[in-house]
Amino acid sequence: MDSKKITLSNGSPYFEHQDSQTVGPRGPVLLQDFILQENLAHFVRERIPERIVHAKGSGAYGKFTVTHDISQYTKAKLFSAVGNSCKMFARFSTVGGEKGSADTARDPRGFALKFYTEDGNWDLVGNNTPVFFIKDAKKFPDFIHTQKRVPKTNLKSATMMWDFWSLNPESLHQVLILMSDRGTPYGYRHMHGFGSHTYSMINDKNERVWVKFHLKTKQGIKNFSNDEAVSMAGKNPDFAQEDLCNAIENGEFPKWTMYIQVMTEEEARDFRWNPFDITKVWFQKDFPLIEVGEMELNEIPANYFAHVEQSTFSPGNLINGISFSPDKMLQGRLFSYPDAHRYRVGVNAHQLEVNRCPFAVNNYQRDGFMADSSHYQDKPNYFPNSFDDIKPDPSYKSFEYELDSAHVASYNRNENDDDHYTQPGLLYSKAMSAQDRENLVNNIVASMKEINGPKKDEIINRQLCHFFRANIELGMKVASQLSVNIDANMMNHSK
């Protein structure tokens, strides 16, 4: 069989791949060696800007299959019949670490899913936790800065993390999950996934319900202890990536079962907490899980950079029958996610293989960096026009609704919604086993012992007050192991 010729990017074959053109065998290299120039110029541009969050990640393709009928809640074509299926892509990630960091670090895990449906790509962009640290996107840059590095030393800092959390008690629910063993999952196959936000579903009668998405691992929950996670970070900082690749390559395809919780608009009005607050959960005894389908990952992409690194997800990538909610964090992400991808990958990121809708894409977006005109070629770039056959379909008209208020203001996010302690307290006392609680306390103490500087005692005492208000036993155990004397003032704060 004839071998292939090596070529430049324009397709021109060449021979001199290893030896630069010089003046004499030891002479200076000539500027006219365009082969050398092109290879070096491309090499130094092989990286694109790193994700600010979720930089370290793993991805795989797979299949989603509908196993139960939920057409009473949504008119989405994907869910119109049991047995429907579509190709999908999943990306898992740590949140705070850089691209070269360890993927066993104590951190939430991103759980981003892309469903390639006949009505467009649907992105369900969540985490392995049902809640989050903050409830308003305006606070997001400040929060993420505390999870990154100190400007002066460029080091991670427990002081600034706990300072922020202690000043933002809405974080407590997620902090307890993060500090439990769920904060160090054994790779990506052994963790649950959540849409986290409240979304909406609209059915063919134009009726709306609120929903939360859950994906339960069929491999079983498995976590590292803190010591095991730290040890593995040194032994193999790519443990989760390797575990996922090996499992799929060996035919042990990981699977998750998708469920939804459903809340009517009437139930939302009477709910004890704001149902659109991402720091809260809906209790499953009140809003039971409804099985939907199964997700299976069965293919590692042939090229990590092209598929995993360049993959883009946005909660604004919705399909007919699934929509958003007034969740303030979700509303902020509707802007920030696609904006991040325009900056990082480019305005035409949606034309890349991993992001491209495999069905029809008909619009009037044109040009920009890396534009590929193979689909639209010389078609009109404006609407309406007399030349093409693209027409808006009224069956996809957006859901119309009335707002509860016409008054515009920057409302205090915690006004009449400042119960930051009941759900974390129940997580500790009801959902966790005795071993879970012991590990949680040990992990909290290990982290808080790293707090230093002139504000150390103030930060620790402020955070202890939050622990006491959630559960007195939790507060006492953490305080005891930190050798903090409990005074009446601190106990009063816990009432």
Question: In angstroms, rounded to a whole number, what is the distance separating the alpha carbons of residues 120 and 319?
Answer: 6
Task: Please state, in angstroms and rounded to a whole number, the distance separating the CA atoms of residues 468 and 437.
Answer: 14
54 given a catalytic annotation: yes
Judge residue 302's burial from the number of C-beta atoms within 10 Å of its C-beta, 0-12 exposed, 13-18 middle, 19 or more buried.
exposed
Which residues, other chains included, contact 46 with Cβ-Cβ below 8 Å and sequence gap of 6+?
Answer: 305
Nearest Cα to 7, choosing from 15, 43, 19?
A: 15
- The string of DSSP codes covering 423-458 is HHHHIIIIIS-HHHHHHHHHHHHHHHTT--STTHHH
- Three-class SS state of 394: helix
* 3-class state of residue 140 by DSSP: helix
Catalytic residue of the set 127, 168, 355, 461: 127
Identity of residue 452: N
C-alpha 22/C-alpha 247 separation (Å) is 50
Catalytic entry in 17, 39, 42, 54: 54
The interaxial angle of helices 472-481 and 456-470, nearest 10 deg, is: 150
To the nearest 10°, the Cα dihedral for 119, 193, 60, 323? 20
From 292, 328, 286, 311, select the one nearest 132 (Cα to Cα).
328
Tell me if 14 is assigned to a ligand binding site.
Answer: no
Residues near 210 by beta carbon (within 8 Å), at least 6 away in sequence = 198, 199, 200, 262, 263, 264, 265, 268, 275, 276, 325
Using the CB atoms, write b or e for 285-300: b if 16+ within 10 Å: eebeeeebbbbbbebb
CA distance linking residue 495 with residue 493, whole number of Å? 6
The residue whose two tokens read 């969540």 is: 126
Nearest to 117 by CA among 293, 251, 291, 290: 293
Count CB-CB contacts under 10 A for residue 315. Answer: 26
Q: What does the alpha-carbon distance between residue 382 and residue 104 come to, in Å, rounded to a whole number? A: 49
Question: Residue positions in the annotated binding site for heme?
Answer: 337
Provide the annotated binding site: 337
Q: Which residues are catalytic?
A: 54, 127
